[in-house]
Structure 1
Amino acid sequence: MKSINSFRNLRSRSIVRKIWPNLTASTTVRLPINVRGWKYITVGNDCYFGPGCRIEAWDSYGTESFSPTIMFGARTRVAGNLHIGAINSVVIGEDVLIGRDVFITDHAHGNSSIEQQTIAPNDRPLFSKGAVYVGDKVWICERAIILPGVHIGSGSIIGAGAVVTHDVPAGCVVGGNPARIVKHIVPPEQ
């Protein structure tokens, strides 16, 4: 995993742009940042990443190979300490606000079968239950967790500390563990 510890001088910015050429000039990254699989990660214009982010696109793990994708839409704002892990796909829409200490993943270590319980978690094959999609103008509050296979509709709010295990319709506020709808911002479609 490559770690960048200083963007404060022009030389560091040049190095980051060489390593991560699809990072737009209008994007701001506060340090430190840890990124794995730069070539699988795309970032839209005018994004902001606070310090301590860990963004991992795993193309291999042990003897397995993957085709990961992580995409951040334009004007996404991340407060810091975001941890995203992908072996499949994590897509973040445009104008998304992500609080501190958020975790988003499309995979787990193993598939929770009885057979795999005899294997140390770190030695289990990575397993994805599906891609993660976060729509436009979503607000993900601090310490939220978004698990594999979840789709979050545009304009929704994910409450602080929520553990999102199922899809969230557009225009909803969810909270809790597991997250449940606590409010419809817009009436549900008829």
Structure 2
Amino acid sequence: MRRFSDAMRTFIKKILYKERYDSKSYVNYLKKRGARIGEGTTIFSPRTTIIDEQQLWMLDIGKYVQITAGCVLLTHDFSWSVLKGRYGEIVGAAGKITIGNNVFIGMNSVVLKGAKIGNNVIIGAGSIVSGEIPDDCVAVGNPCRPIMSLEDYYHKRKNAYREEGKELVREFRTIYGNDPGEKELREFFFLFCDNPKDLKPLWKRMMSICGNEEDSYKKLCGHEKYYSNIQEYLNSIS
């Protein structure tokens, strides 16, 4: 009975939301309309994402791009209507959006016509991208500008994620009265795992994100974990 209910909910959602039912269906729809979108690209919330469908051939998105909820991508600009109202002349506005490979676009960001985002870039939430963002950097703001290299951000995150993992555990205990499990700690398993044989199914799936699974396994086997296992990790947090 439960399977039937789940199937019915899925069927109804597909009817209601059509091409915006999920990321895969929306990406396929955009590609059929002329957009160039690489493999592994995900639009996490198609129903809250606005992508300019008037000129989809002006949209070029690379591989393994993560577009989060509330983002807007605009390849044209209707502000010329004000010029027409004042001067009578129609001065059209259009510009290609180019997004490289391995890019994360934070929630509620706006990418305007003519924007070009390089490879290996993190765009902070709420940013307005109107120009060119170089490769290998973190960029934020309005206007969006690089604030640090991706290498610096990597080391910053390496220093911070141990404490953030502890905070996650403490807050989970406060709310639920018990320890988080494999699912809740799925982004922190490098802290207590260095052997592929110890990987849980969900963790294995995470290793394939961004298409560089082999690199992740090399990193896993080559790094020095902080705790012998998940239980020792949990026991260390008071």
Where in structure 2 are there 5+ consecutive unaligned residues?
1-7, 153-238
SS at match of 2:133: coil
Q: Which residue does 2:49 correspond to in 1?
A: 82
Normalised to the residue count of structure 1, the TM-score between the two structures is 0.59
Structure 1 residues 34-80: Cα deviation after superposition (integer angstroms, max 9, x where no partner): 89xx5xx317xxxxxxxxxxxxx6xxxxxxxxxxx322211111121
SS at match of 2:84: helix
Q: Which residue does 1:9 correspond to in 2?
A: 11
From the superposition, tell whether residues 7 and 156 of structure 1 become closer, same or farther in structure 2 (CA, over 3 Å). Answer: farther
Q: Which residue does 2:129 correspond to in 1?
A: 164
Q: Output the amino acid matched with 1:30.
A: D
SS at match of 2:146: strand
1:174 deviates by: 0.7
From the superposition, tell whether residues 8 and 164 of structure 1 become closer, same or farther in structure 2 (CA, over 3 Å). Answer: same
Distance 2:137 2:85 in 1: 37
Structure 1 residues 14-53: Cα deviation after superposition (integer angstroms, max 9, x where no partner): xx7xxx8xxxxxxx9439x989xx5xx317xxxxxxxxxx
1:111 deviates by: 3.5
Identity rate, percent: 23
1:125 deviates by: 7.2
Flag as ranges the 4+ runs of structure 1 deviating above 3 A: none
Which of 38, 50, 60 is equivalent to 1:91?
60
Which of 118, 129, 138 is equivalent to 1:173?
138
SS at match of 1:154: coil
Matches within 5 A, 1:30-49: 30=22, 38=29, 41-42=30-31
- Structure number with greater CO (CA < 8 Å, separation at least 6) is 1
Distance 1:170 1:176 in 2: 17
Q: Output the amino acid matched with 1:42.
A: K
Structure holding more strand per residue: 1
Distance 2:121 2:71 in 1: 16
Q: Which residue does 1:70 correspond to in 2?
A: 35
Q: Which residue does 2:160 correspond to in 1?
A: none
**Which is greater in Rg?**
2
From the superposition, tell whether residues 118 and 102 of structure 1 become closer, same or farther in structure 2 (CA, over 3 Å). Answer: same
Distance 2:108 2:124 in 1: 9
Aligned residue pairs total 134
1:171 deviates by: 0.7
Which of 78, 93, 96 is equivalent to 1:127?
93
Q: Output the amino acid matched with 1:91.
A: D
Where in structure 1 are there 5+ consecutive unaligned residues?
1-5, 21-27, 44-56, 58-68
1:179 deviates by: 0.8
1:100 paired to 2:69: yes
* More displaced stretch, 87-96 vs 164-173: 87-96
From the superposition, tell whether residues 105 and 115 of structure 1 become closer, same or farther in structure 2 (CA, over 3 Å). Answer: closer
Structure holding more helix per residue: 2
SS at match of 2:126: coil
